Structure 1
Amino acid sequence: MSDDVVWHCIRHNHCSFMAKITTGRIFCRNPYNTTGICNRSSCPLANSRYATIRDHGGIFYLYMKTPERAHLPTKLWERVKLPRNYEKAIEVISKHLEFWPMLLVHKIKQRLTKMTQYRIRMRKLQLKGQLLRR
């Protein structure tokens, strides 16, 4: 119930993470947002049960937020280190988010895939740059 109230306030009054562009699309700059789009299902502020993946220095972490930890803002997000192997990381996500909504789990797996592909492209570009310098 309080999630709906929070979403109504964020959407219709003011959200400092909201970014509108000239085409009318509304994006979210919150680092915990899984899709980057400002909508009810992707908003980490308006969902008491939420999860996402973040990159810290080349290491991926699964961040999970549950209503039980809402009274401790410093411990609001539980952090789980993901293995570098893509298949094992998918298994860890499936294990930790076993009883979560399937739509959210699917979004998180998509984000992991996108970030893994980004990491692979970065390595290729770095190798290509090293070969050109020689």
Structure 2
Amino acid sequence: MSDDVIWHCIRHNHCSFMAKIETGIFCRNPYNATGICNRSSCPLANSRYATIRDHDGVFYLYMKTAERAHLPKKLWERVKLPRNYEKAMEIINKHLEFWPKLLVHKIKQRLTKMTQYRIRMRRLQLKVRM
């Protein structure tokens, strides 16, 4: 796969996930780790990409590699992350050991942000009940 060619087509022709507003260019793709539309964080233009998604309160690590590109159904490998933050970080370190450090850092930041979001949601639910 030629990632640069794909990125050039997406960026300059048309991407249905791109959202241009006054403050910048954002991406609506659910697999995007940062939400910003740029070359390094585009899941479509990177043959090796990872992100974290939330499904009904359970976090999953999604990994995409070039070896699975010929099977669209199995393109994203999914690993369930435990609710414990430290154990989830260990699993991320284990599965993304030989991946680019910048991408691993983005994934860890996303896990931290989503964990803090989960904690705030629990606090707000308890506050409303009392």
Cα separation, 1, equivalents of 2:100 and 2:70: 23
> Which residue number corresponds to residue 9 of structure 1?
9
Give the letter aligned to residue 13 of structure 1: N
Paired residues in the alignment total: 130
Shift of 1:47: 0.1
Note the aligned Cα RMSD (angstroms).
Answer: 0.7
Shift of 1:53: 0.1
Shift of 1:22: 2.1
Structure 2 residue runs of 5 or longer lacking an equivalent are none
Write the mapping of 1:1-134 to structure 2, written as runs, cut at 5 A: 2-23=2-23, 25-131=24-130
Give the letter aligned to residue 5 of structure 1: V
Larger Rg: 1
Cα separation, 1, equivalents of 2:56 and 2:22: 33
Q: Deviations over 1:29-80 (max 9, x none)?
A: 0000000000000000000000000000000000000000000000000000
Cα separation, 2, equivalents of 1:106 and 1:91: 13
Q: Deviations over 1:2-26 (max 9, x none)?
A: 1000000000000000001123x00
Cα separation, 1, equivalents of 2:20 and 2:66: 30
**Taking every aligned residue pair, what percent have the same amino acid on both sides?**
88
Q: Deviations over 1:92-112 (max 9, x none)?
A: 000000000000000000000
Give TM-score, length-normalised by structure 2: 0.99
Shift of 1:130: 0.4
Give the letter aligned to residue 47 of structure 1: N
Structure 1 residue runs of 5 or longer lacking an equivalent are none
Cα separation, 2, equivalents of 1:93 and 1:14: 33
Cα separation, 2, equivalents of 1:91 and 1:41: 24
